Structures are given as structure tokens and as C-alpha cells.
């Protein structure tokens, strides 16, 4: 069980890191193009949500294969684990998005 919870935390923080790092580093380009960095950071965070989930899940092919195997073999425990991994990735991306919005002073889109 410890390995499962470690993997869930890892998935959460990878997704969080992709959102926060990608949006902050991506907004550095606005310094050179004379745009508003805070608005760009919030926009990038919103656009990166799906890609952060994909990165945190490891490309999603193994997750989808495990979901398929669980459904067709009636292994609901495996299905539940994969759905929890997907939820963990989603939670990490959403927390990262909310963190970027809070740092930027609210929704700037």
C-alpha cells in the first residue's frame, strides 16, 4: 500500500510542477515581447492543464491499458487504482492552476 500512496503523491506533484513551472517559465517570453506577464501566466496555466495530466500519468498509454484490462477482466481493484491516479493528476493540475491564479491576484483571463 505504501507504494500506491507514493505513486499517487508523485503523480500529484508532477502535475503541479508542470503547471507551475511551465506557466512561470513560459511567461518569461512576455518580458521580451512587452506583454503583461501575469495575464500570460494565467493563460498558460489554463492551456497546460491537459498536458500536465498526460505528463504526470506517464503518457497515459499504460493507464489506458490498465483500465482496459481491468474492465475486460472484471478486476475492479485495478480500475479503481487507475481512476485514483487520474484523479490525483487532475487534482495536481487544478491546485497548480489555482496557485498561479492566486499568485497573479485572481482570474486575469
Residue 3 lies in a domain: no
What is the distance between the alpha carbons of residues 24 and 42, in angstroms, rounded to a whole number? 9
Which pLDDT score is estimated for 107? Answer: 57
1 belongs to a structural domain = no
All cell numbers assigned to 39:
495575464
Based on the structure, what is the number of domains in the chain? 1
Instruction: State the distance between the two ends of the chain, measured CA to CA, in whole angstroms.
Output: 41
Task: Report the pLDDT value the prediction gives residue 105, as an integer from 0 to 100.
Answer: 65
Q: Answer positive or negative: Cα dihedral of 48, 49, 53, 59.
A: negative
- Structure confidence at residue 106 (pLDDT): 64
Domain assignment present for residue 14? The answer is yes
Domain holding 18, by residue range, is: 10-104
pLDDT at 13: 94
pLDDT along the chain (109 residues), means of 10: 82 93 88 81 88 80 67 74 87 93 69
Tell me whether residue 78 is in a domain. Answer: yes
Residue 5 is predicted with a pLDDT of 83
Q: Specify if 4 maps to a domain.
A: no
Amino acid at each position: 500500500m505504501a507504494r500506491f500512496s507514493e505513486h499517487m503523491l508523485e503523480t500529484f506533484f508532477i502535475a503541479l510542477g508542470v503547471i507551475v513551472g511551465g506557466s512561470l517559465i513560459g511567461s518569461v517570453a512576455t518580458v521580451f515581447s512587452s506583454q503583461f506577464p501575469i495575464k500570460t501566466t494565467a493563460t498558460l496555466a489554463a492551456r497546460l492543464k491537459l498536458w500536465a495530466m498526460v505528463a504526470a500519468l506517464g503518457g497515459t498509454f499504460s493507464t489506458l491499458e490498465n483500465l482496459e484490462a481491468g474492465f475486460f477482466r472484471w478486476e475492479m481493484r485495478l480500475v479503481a487504482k487507475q481512476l485514483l491516479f487520474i484523479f490525483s493528476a487532475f487534482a495536481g493540475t487544478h491546485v497548480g492552476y489555482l496557485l498561479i491564479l492566486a499568485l497573479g491576484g485572481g482570474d486575469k483571463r
